[in-house]
Amino acid sequence: MLFNQTLTYISLFSGAGVGCYGLLEEGFECVATNEIL
């Protein structure tokens, strides 16, 4: 959670996936992504 009370998450799989889009639509902010190819 950021100082302005924004909910945050870290994605360990897909930075452009459906899950990330869903979290964005719910008001979450991504702070880091990592994807192993």
Over residues 11-34, the pLDDT tens digits come to 887 666 777 888 889 999 988 888
Place of tokens 């945050």: 8
**CB 29 within 8 Å of CB 7:** yes
- For residue 37, pLDDT over 80 is answered with no
Query: How far is C-alpha 1 from the chain's CA centre?
Result: 12
**CB 27 within 8 Å of CB 6:** yes
pTM of the model: 0.64
Question: Could you write out the three-class secondary structure of 3-33?
Answer: CCCCCEEEECCCCCCHHHHHHHHCCCEEEEE
For the chain, the domains span 1-37
